Structure 1
Amino acid sequence: MNGTLRRVGDTWALRFERRLAHPPEKVWRAITEPEHLNQWYPFAATELDLRVGGAIRFRDEESTELRAEITELLPPKVFAFQEFDEETGAHGLHFELVPDGEGCRLVFTHTFADRTWAAQTEAGWVRCLDALTGVLDGR
């Protein structure tokens, strides 16, 4: 499933919605606990202080560090943080889990300033969200 891109003020918002066959609590662990997050997220979380204002530190395959700050936290419904990247600026990432029968709907939105990154960002998130589904399914 592809995302939808729209302008929001001075930024762009790329939104994905996926139906997952898992309860919100299980998906919550997959998006907030490093041992699960690191199986599908594009960067490895080396620190995650799970509170509003808490720091997240990521490291990529080249050992480049990326920092983030948690901006919203409402377990097991909303997890949002702001990433700071020297090359592309600040990025907002917002995960919302909505109960849906025995599973849930994941609404994921990534906001960023430079529209030229949209196609590459969308392709990357499609792969990551597919990997998240695989992790949840035990693959």
Structure 2
Amino acid sequence: MSNYGRLYERDGRNILVFKRKYSYSPEKVFRFITEPDYFTRWYPFATGDMDLRVGGKIKFDDGEGSFYEAVITEFLPPYSFCFREIDDLLEISLDETAQGCTLTFSHTFDDRTMAIYTAAGWHRCLDVLDQLIHGHTVEWKDNAFELREYYKTNL
């Protein structure tokens, strides 16, 4: 299984999908996805202000004066966490396997011209999530250009 994302189209919208395998239980991985102290370390602009329930809000700050909220659309620990961020839908699910679990991260959005940048960005964020899950020191690699080049020819 590759760590690279794939782009699909459904009902006129773009869906970027990443899959990652972990040798840990869904319960352990779900903590890193949803607990505010971890969420703010891998998810862009997250403030840690999260009401973890369906209909609950997640607050974001882009650091440049823009604040916005997402609304949680599904919250089924330890298997799914989904929310609508402005017009985009983010879906994170965990499927139990004999060796641990598989994480599926999906981002549904409209503007296909942003797909290369979106894919490279999420790839980097999920790499940091991997580091957190494995107990490694967080290091944001300087690989955005290389990832955009990869996705330019592979989406």
What TM-score do you get using the length of structure 1 for normalisation?
A: 0.91
CA deviation profile, 1:77-134 (whole Å, cap 9, x unmatched): 01000001xxxxx110000001122421001100001111100000001100100000
Give the % identical residues.
46
Deviating runs (4+, > 4 A) in structure 1?
Answer: none
Please say if residues 13 and 110 of structure 1, whose CA atoms lie closer than 8 Å, have aligned partners that are also in contact.
yes
One-letter code of the match for 1:18? Answer: R
Which of 119-128 and 36-45 deviates more?
36-45
Counterparts of 2:47 and 2:114 in 1: how far apart (Å)?
23
Gaps of 5+ in 2: 137-155
Using the alignment, how far apart are the partners of 1:9 and 1:45 within structure 2? 32
Task: Work out which of the two has the higher radius of gyration on C-alpha atoms and give 1 or 2.
Answer: 2
Aligned with residue 36 of structure 1, among 35, 38, 51: 38
Where 1:38 maps in the other structure, the secondary structure is helix
Q: Cα RMSD between the aligned structures?
A: 1.2
Of 78, 82, 85, the residue aligned with 1:83 is 85
Alignment partners' CA distance in 1, 2:9 and 2:99: 34
- Name structure 1 gaps, 5 residues minimum: 85-89
**Bigger strand fraction:** 1
| Conserved 8 A contact 1:53-1:69 | yes
Which whole-Å CA distance do the structure 2 matches of 1:61 and 1:136 have between them?
26
Conservation of the 8 A alpha-carbon contact between 1:54 and 1:69: yes
Alignment of 1:63-102 (within 5 A): 63-84=65-86, 90-102=87-99
Tell which has more relative contact order, 1 or 2 (C-alpha 8 A, sep 6+). Answer: 1
**Count, aligned residues:** 134
Structure 2 distance, partners of 1:73, 1:15, is 19
TM-score (ref. length: structure 2): 0.82
**CA distance in 1 between partners of 2:70 and 2:19 (Å):** 23
Asked if 2 retains the 8 angstrom alpha-carbon contact of 1:95 and 1:109, the reply is: yes
Paired amino acid for 1:36 = Y
- Whose helix fraction is larger, Structure 1's or Structure 2's? 2
Query: What is the aligned counterpart of 2:102 among 83, 105, 109?
Result: 105
